[in-house]
Structures are given as C-alpha cells and as structure tokens.
C-alpha cells in the first residue's frame, strides 16, 4: 500500500495534499481588464500605445498579474527546479485561456542553448505542454531557435531592449503553412521578446501571431 504523506502548501505552509492549498489558490492575482492587443492592465479595449503603434502580435492573454505570490511561484518554477509549481501554473493557464479561433500551433519562446543547459529545461515548453494537454493544439519546439544570448535586459529601456534583441531568433522555413500561431511565454514584461519573435514569424508568411503568457507586468 502506498502511504500518502501530507504535504504543505508552498505559499502558506498549511497542511495540504495539493501543492498550493485551496484558499491560497483562490487568492491568486488573476489579470483583470486588459488591452486586447498587448495585455497591459487598461480600461480601454486597446491601450493608447497600441493604438498609436500596433504591435506585430494581435492578441495577448495573460492569466495572472506579475504580483505576489505569482512572482514567487514563477521564480521557483524557473530557477529552483520546482516542476510541481511549474506544472500547476501550466494547468491554471490552460484552464483560463480562451480562444475563438483555434490557432494552428503553439510556439514556446525559446531559450538560448547555453541558458537551456544551465537550467535543464525551458519553462515555456512545460507551460505549452500543459496547454496542449487541455486543448489538443500541437506544439513545435524545433522551428525557432534563440541564437543570441542577451545579457539580463532588466536595466535596459524598452528601445534598448528591442535593439539588443535584433537577430536574436531564427525561424526555420516551415512547410506547414501556418496561418495563426501562438507564442507561449512565462512572464511578459515590456514584450520585447515576443515582439521580435512575432516579426520574425511574420516574415515567414504567418498571418496572425497571438501571445499567451502566464503573467503580465
């Protein structure tokens, strides 16, 4: 007989058979009314910035706001190998994402091979796998690569980030004739990464790029 040991909630420490207990789960900061296009918190359906300069992606959906405790959970999922929390985040994403038009494929934002070796996994791949399990939308891990290992972009301005990311990604000529793809990312901050990746995909003939991320700044 397998003995099921009681565990404790990752957030509050209370006894819980789930990685996060039900009260903590109910308190997570779900992302509210946001700009349809870039996903930033906004009362208008399209924010001023996106009206002025529409981004290369059409819709952004963020399931959570990047606030406590989501920041702590993502940090654990990314840097402390906490795959239980990573899978939970993926499951919550899958349960909350909505789409009218079914996209052809999910593309996790790739990590540079060097960073992938250090970390051992790409958190965006794991999130995408959970979404595939719920939606049946296929994933392609192979079609794009990150060839430029940019240093931490945190201290850079939005413009500097974009310049820094030029030629950071390559997309192989794909034969699948995708019209509509979705980029999967863990955290969307300025959106510089997904913007660059969306531009590269559009050059290969993809008509529509959406972004689904776990958390939005």
- Closer Cβ to Zn ion, 35 or 198, answer by number: 35
**Sign of the alpha-carbon torsion through 122, 107, 111, 186:** negative
At its nearest, how many Å lie between Zn ion and the CB of residue 60?
8
- Closer Cβ to Zn ion, 146 or 195, answer by number: 195
At its nearest, how many Å lie between Zn ion and the CB of residue 153?
20
- Closer Cβ to Zn ion, 24 or 131, answer by number: 24
Quote the strand ranges of 53-159, DSSP E. 60-65, 105-108, 144-146
Residues contacting residue 3 through CB under 8 Å, at least 6 positions apart: none
- Closer Cβ to Zn ion, 11 or 127, answer by number: 11
At its nearest, how many Å lie between Zn ion and the CB of residue 40?
5
Helix, strand, or coil here: 194?
Answer: helix
Q: Exposed (0-12), middle (13-18) or buried (19+): which is 199, by Cβ within 10 Å?
A: middle
How far apart CA 81 and CA 73 sit, in angstroms, is 11
Residue 192 CB coordination number (10 Å): 21
Look at residues 211, 170, 161, 210 and name the one whose alpha carbon lies nearest to residue 188.
211
Chain contacts with Zn ion (rule: CB under 5 A): 9, 11-12, 21, 24, 35, 37-38, 47, 50
- Closer Cβ to Zn ion, 91 or 174, answer by number: 91
At its nearest, how many Å lie between Zn ion and the CB of residue 42?
6
At its nearest, how many Å lie between Zn ion and the CB of residue 190?
12
């Amino acid at each position: 007989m397998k003995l099921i040991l009681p565990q404790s909630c990752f957030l509050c420490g209370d006894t819980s058979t789930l990685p996060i207990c039900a009260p903590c789960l109910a308190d997570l900061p779900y992302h509210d009314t946001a700009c349809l296009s870039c996903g930033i918190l906004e009362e208008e359906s399209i924010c001023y910035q996106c009206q002025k300069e529409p981004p290369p992606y059409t819709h952004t959906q963020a399931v959570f706001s990047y606030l406590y405790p989501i920041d702590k959970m993502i940090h654990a999922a990314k840097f402390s190998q906490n795959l239980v929390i990573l899978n939970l985040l993926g499951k919550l994403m899958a349960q909350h994402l909505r789409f009218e038009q079914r996209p052809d494929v999910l593309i996790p934002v790739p990590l540079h091979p060097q960073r992938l070796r250090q970390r051992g996994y790409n958190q965006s791949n794991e999130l995408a796998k959970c979404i595939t399990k719920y939606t049946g939308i296929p994933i392609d891990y192979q079609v794009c690569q990150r060839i430029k290992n940019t240093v931490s972009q945190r201290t850079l301005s939005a413009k500097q980030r974009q310049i820094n990311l030029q030629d950071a990604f390559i997309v192989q000529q794909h034969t699948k004739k995708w019209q509509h793809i979705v980029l999967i990312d863990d955290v969307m901050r300025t959106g510089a990464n997904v913007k660059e990746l969306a531009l590269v995909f559009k050059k290969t003939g993809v008509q529509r790029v959406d972004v689904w991320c776990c958390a939005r700044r």
